[in-house]
């Protein structure tokens, strides 16, 4: 909601600077951003009463005082004779109507109204609708303007089953379904109550006689309708949060006053229909309860002064204003007081909880330690899948049809993770996930599962590089100490996967419950420590690798060469490692195999760029006597 600073300070006794105003708004919990004189407010959903100039001013009055600057139409108003029936008073306990006829609708707007449209209000429509929008900005009460000449027969408010196309005053058509609160005329829906009026009864530029409807709709009766029909309106936003049921006559008198400011009124009539009287809501005065909640030592007079400043009426009890739907208990009042004092001005009081023994070494931590120590990286996947199995849990309102079930296994996610990394030139992949899986039989069942997947080389050091990840590898890791393997290892065929890779894929999935305790007793969980690294964004460009074989005849320099190779670094060298170490006893030489992986953050590297870099990094090495690179 946008508010003009100049408009807001008109409602305050003191005229704070923008900085002071902003500071106090934050203290009260009203977040906002400021651009020139416009405050773009983001109010919490419980504070519908603040969605207007007067609403914010009522809160700010505790700091800056309130000015009484609302001009109302003070003349007597004749009673309105209107054929109206409220068939659903629980949805609309109070509604008022104002009928005004003016001599001329083509008028020049006064500066305050003109300025509202220039700074906040957007496009103008017609005099009555424009005044309605302005009144909502000023007082927080939406009103709806019917062209009086069209409302000839009985006007009905009802909550009725709909299956009909409704044309809004903005020209859009929506298909109304289920039950909706509506106004109808001759059995035709002319307004979707609390959301938007219809085209057939809307005012136009030439309308001179208007019927202004001003209502309180029960928030629960209209909530969600605006989003359901994609009819986002200021009115719906306010009605859903609750308006002031006691303000209708004041609002319509203000409406009349703004009309009077612009045109000569020929006739004016008013009628209010009250189906249920608003019950005063009172809370006993008890400052000790407030101090007990906040941990403060506030005195009674201070307490009551703050509440009065916020518009509460104090007698034997605290009377909650009719617009404060959010105040019911002492905890609510404690929040009011904390806002006035300032949350940051409440002093901390230490708490000392009884220390508990740390619960380290649980099953998950032990599995994690085992897997991470053996080169496995953990992934976390979203549980949504298009695959529906008999026991799958179905999402009623999925994001899309590809995510309308919960997975019953971790397998597909882990295969996808594997292929994703293979496409990024990874040739040694070990991944695992530990997640809860949900299935249904008669009841919903929860199982904590471990899934792990491997493919490619066992590692990149010269011992593991030539070996492939296989069943034997997993057996050694998981089943070595058990005569009957407790983990079932399955090969996943690549035939149905979108890949040209040939390395075999092996997969294990098990419920943690199914792993015998004896497996865990042999494991230990490492004490976890965290290193808050400074993350470097990863490149999305492809990497390229180059392997080099070094023949070293002068054995004294072997470790010097390895040190040099290990310490090569460059912006485009992502990684390098010794993948082969071979002693040729016959020839008395040592051969080193070294792999360099090139990748840029800026582009896909060309062969010539890589070759240039290769020459640069290798030239100091081949200058050694007794070191050569065959083929170079």
Partner 1 sequence: MSNLDNINLPSISKELGRLHPINQIKDYLLKLLTNIGFEEVHGPEIETEEFNFDMLNIKKSHPARQMHDTFYAEGKKNVLRTHTSPVQIRGMLESKPPIAFISAGKVYRKDDDATHLPMFHQVEGIYVDENVTFANLKDLIHQILHELFGDNVQIRFRPSYFPFTEPSAEVDILSENGKWLEILGCGIVNPVVLENCNIDPNKFSGLAFGLGVERIAMLKYGVNDIREFYKSNLDFLAQFK
Site track for partner 1 across 464-503, x = CB under 8 A? x---------------------------------------
Instruction: Tell me if 402 contacts partner 1 by CB under 8 A.
Output: no
The residue count for binding partner 1 (CB under 8 A) is 110
Instruction: Tell me if 394 contacts partner 1 by CB under 8 A.
Output: yes
User: Per CB under 8 A, which region of 107-115, 119-127, 507-515, 533-541 contacts partner 1?
Assistant: 533-541
Closer to partner 1 by Cβ: residue 43 or 131: 43
List beta partners, residue 267.
101
Task: State in angstroms the smallest separation of the CB of 460 from partner 1.
Answer: 7
Contact with partner 1 (CB under 8 A) among 36, 533, 569, 625: 533
Q: Where are the alpha helices (DSSP H) in 47-205?
A: 53-64, 111-116, 127-139
Instruction: Tell me if 51 contacts partner 1 by CB under 8 A.
Output: no
Contact with partner 1 (CB under 8 A) among 536, 607, 625, 630: 536
Site track for partner 1 across 329-368, x = CB under 8 A? x-xx-xx--xx---xx-xxxxxxxxxxx-xx--------x
Give the C-alpha separation, 157 to 185, whole Å: 9
Closer to partner 1 by Cβ: residue 113 or 454: 454
Instruction: Tell me if 440 contacts partner 1 by CB under 8 A.
Output: yes
User: Per CB under 8 A, which region of 161-169, 184-192, 265-273, 418-426 contacts partner 1?
Assistant: 418-426
Tell me if 394 sits within 8 A of 405, measured CB to CB.
Answer: yes
Instruction: Tell me if 511 contacts partner 1 by CB under 8 A.
Output: no
Instruction: Tell me if 293 contacts partner 1 by CB under 8 A.
Output: yes
- Exposed/middle/buried for 554, CB within 10 Å: 0-12, 13-18, 19+? middle
**Subset of 537-566 contacting partner 1 (CB under 8 A):** 537-539, 555-556, 558-559, 562
Residue 210: phi, psi to the nearest 5?
A: -120, 150
**Subset of 130-189 contacting partner 1 (CB under 8 A):** none
Tell me if 267 sits within 8 A of 100, measured CB to CB.
Answer: yes
Task: State in angstroms the smallest separation of the CB of 573 from partner 1.
Answer: 14
Contact with partner 1 (CB under 8 A) among 163, 187, 373, 521: 373
User: Per CB under 8 A, which region of 154-162, 302-310, 375-383, 474-482 contacts partner 1?
Assistant: 375-383
User: Per CB under 8 A, which region of 10-18, 183-191, 198-206, 416-424 contacts partner 1?
Assistant: 416-424
Closer to partner 1 by Cβ: residue 348 or 495: 348
Residue that has been written with the tokens 């870099």 in this structure: 613
In three-state secondary structure terms, 111 is helix
Question: What's the Cα-to-Cα distance from 362 to each of 358, 365, 450, 512, 523, rounded to whole Å?
Answer: 11, 5, 14, 11, 10
User: CA triplet 469, 474, 476: central angle to 5 degrees?
Assistant: 115
Give the C-alpha separation, 545 to 614, whole Å: 11
Strands 2-4 and 38-42, bridge-based pairing? antiparallel
Long-range CB contacts for residues 218-227, cutoff 8 Å, separation at least 24: 218/90, 218/91, 218/92, 218/93, 221/88, 221/90, 221/91, 221/92, 221/159, 221/181, 221/194, 222/91, 222/181, 222/193, 222/194, 222/195, 225/180, 225/181, 225/192, 225/194, 225/195, 226/195
Instruction: Tell me if 31 contacts partner 1 by CB under 8 A.
Output: yes
């Amino acid at each position: 909601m946008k508010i003009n600073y100049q408009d807001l300070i008109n409602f305050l006794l003191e005229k704070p600077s923008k900085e002071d105003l902003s500071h106090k708004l934050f203290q009260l919990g009203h977040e906002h951003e400021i651009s020139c004189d416009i405050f773009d407010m983001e109010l919490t959903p419980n504070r519908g009463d603040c969605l207007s100039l007067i609403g914010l001013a009522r809160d700010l009055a505790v700091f800056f005082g309130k000015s009484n600057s609302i001009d109302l139409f003070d003349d007597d108003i004749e009673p309105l004779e209107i054929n109206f029936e409220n068939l659903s008073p629980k949805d609309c306990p109070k509604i008022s109507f104002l009928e005004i006829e003016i001599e001329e609708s083509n008028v020049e707007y006064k500066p305050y109204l003109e300025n509202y449209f220039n700074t906040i209000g957007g496009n103008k429509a017609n005099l009555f609708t424009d005044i309605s929008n302005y009144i909502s900005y000023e007082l927080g009460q939406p009103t709806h303007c019917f062209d009086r000449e069209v409302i000839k027969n009985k006007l009905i408010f009802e909550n009725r089953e709909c299956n009909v196309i409704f044309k809004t005053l903005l020209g859009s058509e929506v298909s109304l379904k289920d039950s909706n609160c509506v106004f109808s005329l001759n059995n035709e829906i002319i307004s979707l109550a609390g959301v938007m009026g219809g085209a057939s009864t809307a005012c136009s530029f030439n309308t001179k006689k208007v019927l202004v409807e001003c209502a309180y709709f029960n928030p629960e009766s209209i909530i969600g309708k605006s989003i359901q029909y994609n009819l986002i309106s200021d009115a719906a936003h306010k009605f859903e949060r609750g308006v002031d049921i006691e303000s209708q006559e004041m609002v319509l008198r203000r409406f009349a006053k703004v009309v009077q400011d612009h045109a000569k009124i020929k006739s004016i009539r008013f009628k209010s229909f009250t189906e249920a009287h608003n019950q005063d809501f009172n809370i006993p005065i008890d400052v000790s309860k407030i101090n007990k909640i906040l941990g403060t030592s506030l005195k009674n007079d201070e307490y009551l002064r703050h509440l009065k400043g916020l518009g509460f009426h104090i007698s034997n009890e605290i009377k909650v204003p009719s617009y404060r739907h959010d105040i019911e208990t002492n905890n609510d009042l404690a929040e009011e007081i904390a806002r006035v004092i300032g949350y940051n001005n409440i002093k901390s009081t230490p708490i000392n909880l009884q220390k508990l023994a740390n619960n380290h070494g649980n099953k998950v931590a032990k599995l994690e330690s085992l897997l991470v120590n053996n080169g496995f990286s953990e992934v976390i996947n979203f549980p949504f899948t298009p695959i529906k199995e008999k026991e799958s849990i179905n999402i009623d309102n999925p994001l899309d049809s590809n995510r309308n079930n919960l997975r019953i296994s971790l397998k597909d996610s882990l295969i996808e993770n594997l292929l994703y990394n293979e496409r990024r030139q990874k040739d040694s992949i070990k991944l695992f996930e530990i997640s809860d899986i949900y299935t249904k039989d008669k009841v919903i069942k929860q199982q904590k599962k471990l899934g792990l997947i491997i493919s490619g080389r066992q590692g990149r050091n010269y011992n593991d590089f030539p070996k492939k990840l296989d069943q034997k590898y997993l057996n050694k890791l998981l089943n070595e100490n058990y005569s009957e393997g407790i983990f079932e290892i399955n090969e996943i065929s690549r035939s149905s996967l979108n890949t040209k890779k040939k390395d075999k894929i092996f997969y294990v999935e098990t419920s943690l419950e199914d792993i015998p305790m004896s497996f865990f007793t042999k494991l230990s969980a490492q004490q976890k420590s965290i290193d808050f690294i400074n993350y470097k964004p990863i490149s999305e460009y492809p990497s390229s690798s180059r392997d080099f074989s070094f023949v070293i005849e002068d054995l004294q320099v072997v470790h010097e060469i390895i040190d040099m190779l290990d310490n090569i670094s460059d912006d485009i060298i992502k990684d390098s490692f010794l993948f082969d170490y071979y002693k040729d006893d016959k020839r008395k030489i040592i051969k080193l195999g070294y792999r360099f992986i090139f990748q840029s953050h800026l582009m896909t590297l060309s062969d010539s760029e890589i070759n240039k870099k290769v020459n640069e990094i290798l030239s100091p090495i081949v200058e050694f006597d007794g070191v050569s690179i065959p083929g170079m």
